[in-house]
A and B are shown apart, each in its own frame.
Chain A
């Protein structure tokens, strides 16, 4: 069974304090791994898609990396506006649910001034 586990569940950082969020996954065949950001009361906002091990993508203070077993979302010098829940999801090659995404529970990030 495909599984996505995110850690930590919650993370508190001071402004400027860099850190990484982890997404571990088991999937029969990875079609793609997705990162989303979700603010309270809103729908998930797309950040990145990674397709194969070794791939990296960057956007402002965020950088996502992928290995065969996990993905990291690195946050460099975070600002308070980076506070949100970050969701990781995988899309499996042979999913019984077509092209549906299988989500982790998310990491709630709080960045304090």
Chain B
């Protein structure tokens, strides 16, 4: 009955380093989304996974960002060669399927790039 979980809750890294952020969706949810929330900005869509279909990567801001998902379970968002502008809260959401199903969010990972 657990909700969406994310780890770590906070990550501080140095400019140029790679980071990996993890998301565990609600069990049985086939759709998974990553969003980014920068200070003073609305949530920005990054990437969407639906079942075994090819992911929708249209929101990824650069080729330094990538994400993977194993089947309908855990997802990992990787940011290579981090920049200061990557500092943000990274939020993961899952839903029961595509379309109108409600997206339930995790608590987020706060990334700070020094």
Contact = CB atoms under 8 A, between A and B. Distances in A.
Contact of B103 (A4, A41, A101): A101
A105 B4 contact: no
Interface stretch (A44-52, A53-61, A68-76): A44-52
A103 B59 contact: no
Interface in B87-111: 91, 93, 95, 98-100, 102-108
Interface residues of B, number: 28
B1 interface: no
B26 interface: no
A34 interface: yes
B99 A31 contact: yes
A31 B59 CA distance: 19
Contacts of B35: 101, 103
B48 A105 contact: no
A51 B99 CA distance: 12
Interface residues of A, number: 27
B114 interface: no
A105 B42 contact: yes
Contact of A97 (B41, B59, B91, B95): B59
Interface of B: 4, 31, 33, 35, 40-45, 48, 50, 56, 58-59, 91, 93, 95, 98-100, 102-108
Interface of A: 4, 31-32, 34, 36, 41-46, 49, 51, 87, 89, 91, 96-106
